[in-house]
């Protein structure tokens, strides 16, 4: 289901880091379905090839270029190849992220650093490397994938929480500095997304149904829903939105919403 014309992004080229799976693949699909060509960048070429094949069986609208966003030279190389393959760049989606549950007291310095390197430095470095390419087209859009951990204190999530809070700040500051180049910088902060690596890693075993029941809408979101919101944010319909991170979490991160809902439902039968 889409409220947009299927050619709204015709002729546009997007780079999507972390685009081989999950939320970012959902965003890639929404963009391809509306006319864009997408270059997917993440660590494993075989995973990227499978994702590109799924998005665009003839290869005309999707290609994968392997690079770890922590390796700036490799990232630069993959960005250059993407721009060459599709003839320019209009949209960058910074989706590459790392995460695992770990209590702060047991988290090693390198564990914290690894997530900061992927999420925060990866976002800045990809944005910085894409800036001149976006500028060449007279402007464009950068979409940073954040998370509710950025503003909601979350147990065992100090590393991604800090990393995504920094990503949100990058969204604000780049919007300010790059607005004059007609580059919008926006963010999306999803809550839990069904069927993703993040959900697998972050859901305490056996808690799925209890967690769903505690959510205001009684369910997590989907990659399709996040894809549609991302499509809106990168489309001309959102032309005056910049420096903002849109929370798409079904009100799950409202303070104590889960606790209140559980109590009210028990009280109301
Ligand atoms: C404690 C851990 C750990 C765990 C890794 N580390 N997993 N510490 N509990 N479960 C520590 C390691 O001990 C090591 O520190 C350091 O992190 C680096 O780990 P490596 O395995 O050597 O690194 P690497 O192979 O590069 O892995 C990167 C990773 C990993 C982020 C740590 O989890 C990963 O690659 N994940 C795949 C991507 C991913 O997580 N996708 C889901 C994103 S979910 P030491 O000290 O031992 O050297 C998501 C949605 C929600 O983003 C976002 C919320 C903000």
pLDDT tens for each residue of the chain, 269 residues long? 789 999 999 999 999 999 999 999 999 999 999 999 999 999 999 999 999 999 999 999 999 999 999 999 999 999 999 999 999 999 999 999 999 999 999 999 999 999 999 999 999 999 999 999 999 999 999 999 999 999 999 999 999 999 999 999 999 999 999 999 999 999 999 999 999 999 988 888 888 888 888 888 999 999 999 999 999 999 999 999 999 999 999 999 876 566 666 666 667 65
Residue 5 in any domain: the answer is no
Residue 148 in any domain: the answer is yes
Number of domains in the chain: 1
The closest residue, in CA terms, to atom 39 on ligand 1 is: 98
149 lines ligand 1 (CB under 6 A): yes
Residue 2 in any domain: the answer is no
Ligand 1: centre distance to CA 103 (Å): 13
91-94 and 37-41 strand pairing: unpaired
CATH number for the domain including 220? 3.40.50.720
Cα–Cα distances in Å, from 56 out to 7, 48, 255, 258?
A: 15, 12, 41, 40
pLDDT at 229: 98
pLDDT at 150: 97
Predicted model pTM: 0.95
Residue 7 in any domain: the answer is no
Q: The domain containing residue 177 runs over which residues?
A: 13-267
CB 47 within 8 A of CB 22: no
Residue 108 in any domain: the answer is yes
Residue 8 in any domain: the answer is no
Residue 254 in any domain: the answer is yes
44 lines ligand 1 (CB under 6 A): no
Task: Report the distance separating Cα 196 and Cα 191, nearest Å.
Answer: 12
pLDDT at 247: 98
Residue 142 in any domain: the answer is yes
CB 19 within 8 A of CB 25: yes
Give the CA dihedral 176, 73, 75, 245, nearest 10 degrees: -20
């Amino acid at each position: 289901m889409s409220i947009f014309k299927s050619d709204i992004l015709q002729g546009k080229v997007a780079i999507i880091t972390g685009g081989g799976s999950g939320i970012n693949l959902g965003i890639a699909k929404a963009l391809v379905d509306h006319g864009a060509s997408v270059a997917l960048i993440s660590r494993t070429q075989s995973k990227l090839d499978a994702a590109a094949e799924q998005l665009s069986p003839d290869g005309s609208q999707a290609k994968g270029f392997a690079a770890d966003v922590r390796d700036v030279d490799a990232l630069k190389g993959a960005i250059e190849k993407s721009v060459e393959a599709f003839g320019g760049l209009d949209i960058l989606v910074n989706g590459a992220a790392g995460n695992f549950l770990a209590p702060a007291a047991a988290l090693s310095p390198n564990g914290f650093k690894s997530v900061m390197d992927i999420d925060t430095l990866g976002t800045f470095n990809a944005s910085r490397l894409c800036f001149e390419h976006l500028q060449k087209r007279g402007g464009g859009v950068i979409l940073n994938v954040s998370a509710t951990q950025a503003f909601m204190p979350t147990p065992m999530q100090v590393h991604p929480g800090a990393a995504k809070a920094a990503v949100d700040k990058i969204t604000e500051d780049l919007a300010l500095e790059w607005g004059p180049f007609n580059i919008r910088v926006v963010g999306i902060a999803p809550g839990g997304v069904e069927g993703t690596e993040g959900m697998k890693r972050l859901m305490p075993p056996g808690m799925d149904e209890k967690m769903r029941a505690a959510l205001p809408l009684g369910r997590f979101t989907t990659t399709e829903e996040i894809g549609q919101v991302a499509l809106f944010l990168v489309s001309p319909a959102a032309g005056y939105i910049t420096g903002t991170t849109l929370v798409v979490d079904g009100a799950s991160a409202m303070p104590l919403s889960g606790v209140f809902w559980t109590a009210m439902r028990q009280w109301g039968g």
